[in-house]
Structure formats: C-alpha cells, structure tokens
Amino acid sequence: MSSSREIARSLTVDAIGDGQRLDLIVAAATDLSRTQSATLIATGMITVDGKAQKAGYRPTASQQIAITIPAPRGIDIVGESLPISVVFEDEHLLVVDKAAGMVVHPAPGNWTGTLVHALVGRGGELSSEGGDERAGIVHRLDKETSGLLIVAKTDRAHRLLSAALAARRIDRRYAALTWGHLREDRVTVEGRIGRDPNNRHRMALVPSGKPARTDVDRLARFDGGDLLRCTLHSGRTHQIRVHLSSIGHPVMGDDTYGGGGGRRVTGLGPGRHALHAASLRFAHPISSGWMAFRSPLPADLDVAVRAVAGAHQPPADANLLDLYGFYPDVADDQLPRRTESADG
C-alpha cells in the first residue's frame, strides 16, 4: 500500500503574523519544520499573492499564502500481528484503547509497529481518506499517551467524523497528573500553538500558531501535584502538554515539556507520561445515535496516582477515575471557570 496525495491549502496573514518571516509563518501553520518550509519556498511550492518569494520575505496582514505540499514518496504498509484493544466495532468504525508506547501511524523513526500496521494486520476495511500511511485514522494520540481514539472503516464515516471533530462535536477528555497546584479548581487555558521555531520536535506557544483552548478541572489535590480532567476544544499537536506546561504545571513524566522529574515520584518508566484519554463521546456518523466510552487508568498510571497521593491513599480496589469524579454530569460543564491566557 502506498499514498500519492498532494496537499494544497491557503491562509491569510493576520495581524499576529504581520511582518514575520514567511518560513516561520508556514512552519507554524503546518506540520513542517522551518527547514522544510524554506525548501518548499525555494522550489516555488509556496507563493504570496501568487508570486514566489524568499524564505525571509515578511508578508503583511491580509496577504494570501498558497501552500502546496508534494505527496511523500509512498511506503509499503505491511500488516503486523500486534495486540490492540478494540472496545467497539461495527461496519463503519472502531474505537480503540491505545496502549502507551504505540505510535498511531508511520513516521520517521517509526516505520513499523504502529497502530496502522496493527489495524491492517487484523484485516477488514479501513478508510482511505488519510492515505495508506494513515488508513482509518480520524485523530491521533501521542506515542506516550494512552487511551481512546476513533478509527474509520469507510470513507463516508471518515468524512463525517472529521467534520464532527472540526465542529467540536466529539467530546474528548483526558486524565492528567501534573506538577504543582492550580490557582483555581476550574481553569480554561487559551494560547496559540505552533511548531517551536528553535526545536522542530516540540510545539510551543507562538503568535502565528493556531488558536487552542483546553478546559481544566482539578479532581484531586495531593502534596506534590494535581489530578486533572482536561477537555479539548481544539486538537492541536501536544495541546494539553503545551498548555499545562505554559501555566507552570507540566504533565508528570513529560520530558519534552518540563515534567520529566515526575518519574522520581510516580515510578513511571522512560517514554511514559501521566496523560490518558479516558472519555470519548460522539454521535455515530451514520445512525446519529449517541455513543460514550470510558477507559480506566492503565495499571502504570494507577500506581503513579497512588504514589503521588501519599498519605491520602484511596482504597486499594477503587477505580480512581470514578472515585475522583472524572466522568462529569452535563451540568458540570456550565459551571464558571477562570481563564488563563497562555499566548506567546
């Protein structure tokens, strides 16, 4: 299996991007690095108001940038027999409870052993909307994050689910164990997220990034940190991790965004941070029936929470997310919350 889809998009320079270098604007608006952006600019694949420019060109507000990203050279996707947890399946979609450590789709450094390889290996139909390398993938989780995600089996289901995701009609909630203590029990973090211009492996709060909002609710306050419920209102790469780090409360175990020291407290192993996609709610794309899925904390995160709880130990047999009220009533979403501006 291989992919040959060229990606074309356009954007209008806004007041925040006004006067920034073209390569930085493109990198912040895409998944490209600054070097990759500069290469496309140099080869005429990116234009401003229909004209080729140099990477250092500084567009002004309201100018139109046209971006054409050539299709990557296809790779063969060979199915692999890998264990995955499927919590729901019908002829239109699957819901998978992904284990930490598994990459969702092939990418540099992870050309095998991904969720896509496992899905192909188990057989059955998968949508082709994202190309062969992302067969069926509607949304992603980071390698180090565990929990629930949707896989489309048909192109129609994929298109409808993607539209629902863009319209924020898919409710995704994550449990996070973080350093320090929030100033309020209910906080909204807002800040534009884009590629870190100094490190392409990180995301950062940058003026030209995409708007992002995360609602955060404290479920428990322990001596060394908080157990939080994070609700996405957008789906930027590393969004929760970047937002929590920006307000001084990185996810424990997150080496990339300042929480790596949490391993000493939680006992989490390398390549694992304390973030779990525990709740997923959406309307079925074909029947429109409401669907809701819950995933309890994996064993390593259960141990981590109990380690941080210290003297405030929960019962040994307790489901911690139930115990701490992770799964809210709909009315809870209407309660007031503090807004933390994290714009860079």
- Looking up tokens 């997310």 gives 321
- Collapsing DSSP to helix, strand or coil, 80 comes out as coil
Torsion region of 271: left, alpha or beta (phi above 0 gives left; psi -120 to 50 gives alpha) = left
Neighbour-count burial for 264-287, b at 16+ CB within 10 Å, e otherwise: ebbebeeebbbbbbbbbbbeebee
- Give 99-122 as a 3 state SS string: CCCCCCCCECCECCCCHHHHHHHH
Enumerate helices (H) and strands (E) in the chain, giving the number of each. 8, 16
CA distances (Å), 297 to each of 100, 113, 180, 260, 278, in order?
11, 23, 21, 20, 7
Q: Report whether 128 contacts 155 (CB < 8 A).
A: yes
Q: Which of 4, 2, 42 is nearest to 26 (CA)?
A: 42
Q: Report whether 205 contacts 192 (CB < 8 A).
A: yes
Catalytic residue flag (residue 142): yes
Q: Which residues contact 294 (CB under 8 A, 6 or more apart)?
A: 278, 279, 321, 327
CA 284 to chain centre: 21
Query: Which of 23, 142, 196, 226 does the annotation list as catalytic?
Result: 142
Q: Give the integer Cα–Cα distance in Å for 34 and 128.
A: 29
Residues with catalytic function: 142
